[in-house]
Amino acid sequence: MATKEKTIHQTPAEPAVPGTETPRPVQDPWDVKVTMFVPRKQTGDEQQYYVAINDRKFLVPANGKAQELPQPVAEVLAASLEQEAMAEKMSDEITKEAIENAGKM
């Protein structure tokens, strides 16, 4: 019984020769603007968020509106707001648990 050989056609990979790569344009992240909703703070607090990144300082108004911010500022502020919400949730859970346990004593 005769067997047929399978032929696979492959295109040769381009050799990696140093210095022949085409440089990609690098965009400064501070030039990229991101639209982000900045919530109001609770009453009694200052109505602005302080963000500092590598000796650059920003005061972002907490006016409850969407604002256009540099990308690094928006990332740090979003992380801060997320942490603040998580801390508030945890505090509420601990308070609720303490109230329930106080009623059992």
Of 24-28, 58-62, 72-76, 90-94, minimum mean pLDDT range: 24-28
Task: Using CA atoms of 96, 97, 100, 101 in order, give the dihedral in degrees to the nearest 10.
Answer: -150
Stretch 9-34: mean pLDDT, rounded?
71
Strand partners, 90: none
pLDDT at 70 over 60: yes
Kindly indicate the confidence band of residue 75, based on its pLDDT and cuts at 50, 70 and 90: very high
Task: Using CA atoms of 31, 33, 39, 44 in order, give the dihedral in degrees to the nearest 10.
Answer: 20
Of residues 11 and 52, the one with the higher pLDDT is: 52
What does pTM read for this prediction? 0.67
Distance CA 34, CA 74 (A): 7
- Domain locations in the chain? 29-104
Counting Cα atoms < 13 Å in the Cβ hemisphere of 80 gives 15
Q: Of 37, 32, 30, 98, which is closest to residue 58 (Cα–Cα)?
A: 30
pLDDT at 76 over 80: yes
